Structure 1
Amino acid sequence: MDTFQGAGTPSGSTVTGEFIFTIPFPENTREVEIKQGNDNISFNPIIRSVQDRIERVPDNAFVDEPERRRQDLLDMLSELDEQMDQEDYEAALQTVADFEGSIGSSIKDEYETGAIQPTKDELRDLLVDTELRINTIEAEATGGGLFFGFSIEEIAAGGAVTAGLAYLASRMIRDESK
């Protein structure tokens, strides 16, 4: 076990607990690798971001059967991870849309949250970010562009409203191509 010595911590004492921190990563990142000594941990940060939040949704947020509903959402994330590994971005984007529908039917609109527990709106915002990141990766893989020529930087500079409009536009384009 690692120890931490901070201000006001008696010498030789150990601080343990769950630590949550944000690691920013570029929109096109498909894998993060963390090395500690001889140990390596790698994961898809897009999937992990959603997974961590789903695991922190309180049981009282689910409409019923919280264990089953949470596991169903986590299973969808495993499917999304596999689709991204196979570079099947169209299927991945459809899974994100399906995931959003499952959030809508599995999680109550309002519920009491703790300090690190996400609201339903925060989960939906994360899915907008997830779709934007998958679109960025797909665009790089295929040499294509993003929503009407907007770059991720332009979308980010425009804030949530622009990102939300880009999200809706991407859905309309996909729906028309079917």
Structure 2
Amino acid sequence: MSSLFKTIAQTLALTAALGATGTASAQELKIGYVNGERVLREAAPAKAAQAKLEAEFKKRETELNDTGNRLRQSMEKLEKEAPTISEAERTRRQRELSEQERDFQRKRRELLEDLNQRKSEELAAVSERASKVIKQIFDQEKYDLIITEAAFFSPRVDITKRVIDALNAGK
């Protein structure tokens, strides 16, 4: 729903911009649209950030997967051996496995929290760079309005590729 409100707010801003031109026609306005999701998906800095995150978290993820597999195997082993072991031994091993499961789940949550935090940091850095590029294009090409969310837009106002190319060029 917030996306709808942003779109409405942008429409109102566009209407205000059109009204502010007074006698100028809408055709004299220079309007651009940037697809932020596409920028974060296709730009080289965004891809580099994704690769960096994957490398940073690969070891922890592998260790966690290995721990999960060992835990699953231990649970299966206990299930198979349950009829042949004493009640006390079964209870002890179930308790140990429950503790290991809780530890495993805690480590999984920590990994996800750390990954999400780092992902947010990396995306914020890419977004900031993209924002600077958009501002630079806005100033250099004398745009009246550049929006990043729209319900509908014409391909002739879409400057997303220029933003991506500028980011890829390191501008």
The two structures have a TM-score, normalised by structure 2, of 0.26
Q: Which has the higher contact order (CA 8 A, sep 6+)?
A: 2
Larger helix share, 1 or 2? 2
